[in-house]
Amino acid sequence: MRKTLKICSNIITAILFMNLLVMVFLVVSSKASGGEPQAFGYQLKTVLSGSMEPTFMTGSVIAVKPLDEDARTNLQVGDIITFQANEEMLITHRIIGVNTSGEHVMYETKGDNNNAADMDLVLSDNVVAKYADFTIPYIGYFINFAQSKEGSAILLIGPGVLLLGYAGYSILTALRELDPKVGKKDIKEKSA
């Protein structure tokens, strides 16, 4: 019985500690990059609309690979790209046509769920990244929450408090096992 409790205790401690590390990574990474978190050279972007459903569901997180200047001009029909639509908005849509005009390459794009192509062509200089064929459904809601001030505080402090509380509980349990008379003595004194 004690061995089972000890194994469960170790598993709970490991889960709480890993949770704390993941939360710290997500929050610090998103704050350091000024937006979406990054991992292993990929940026994680949250899907905010249904324009690419069923390829990406709203609230999913997708991994995109930032592109250099040469790669931006060598994209093909069928590639899914993230591009700067204006100063404040990034869009991720599929390339349905490539137009070359001298040195300039422009892409015709469309969301998979949209009835028509996007109104404006995308200049290759505005392409930020290419979809890396990696999607995690619905976790984008969580990442958006983690990027808010309240979310950052809760996700950093919450697991830390749980870990400290559990550590305190483990210490008290260990002290009781070391000297079982202490617990019985306290009970006798209180009842007297």
Global confidence as pTM = 0.61
Position 112, amino acid: D
8 A C-beta contact, residue 62 and residue 47: yes
Check if the beta carbon of residue 108 is closer than 8 Å to that of residue 99. yes
CATH class of 2-172: mainly beta
pLDDT at 188 over 70: no
Mean pLDDT over 157-174 rounds to: 80
- Where do runs of H (alpha helix) occur along 42-138? 69-72
Q: Residue 185 pLDDT > 60, yes or no? A: no
Rounded mean pLDDT, 126-153? 80
Contact 128, 66 (CB under 8 A): yes
Report CA Rg, the chain.
26
> What confidence tier does 38 reach under pLDDT thresholds 50, 70, 90?
low
pLDDT over 70, % of the chain: 82
pLDDT tens-digit readout, 41-60: 788 788 888 899 898 888 88
Q: Among all chains, which residue has been given the structure tokens 């402090």?
A: 157
- The residue-averaged pLDDT of 67-76 equals 87
Query: DSSP H helical segments within the chain, as ranges?
Result: 2-33, 69-72, 139-147, 149-178, 180-191
Three-state DSSP class for 43? strand
Q: Could you state, in order of their start, the residue ranges of all structural domains in the chain?
A: 2-172
The pLDDT of residue 187: 53
153 vs 22: CA distance, rounded Å: 14
Tally the residues of the chain: 192
Q: Which residues are registered as beta bridge partners of 95? A: 109
Q: Quote the tokens at residue 69.
A: 């200047």
What was the pLDDT predicted at 41? 76
- Supply the residues annotated as catalytic: 49
Give 131's pLDDT tier (boundaries 50, 70, 90).
Answer: very high
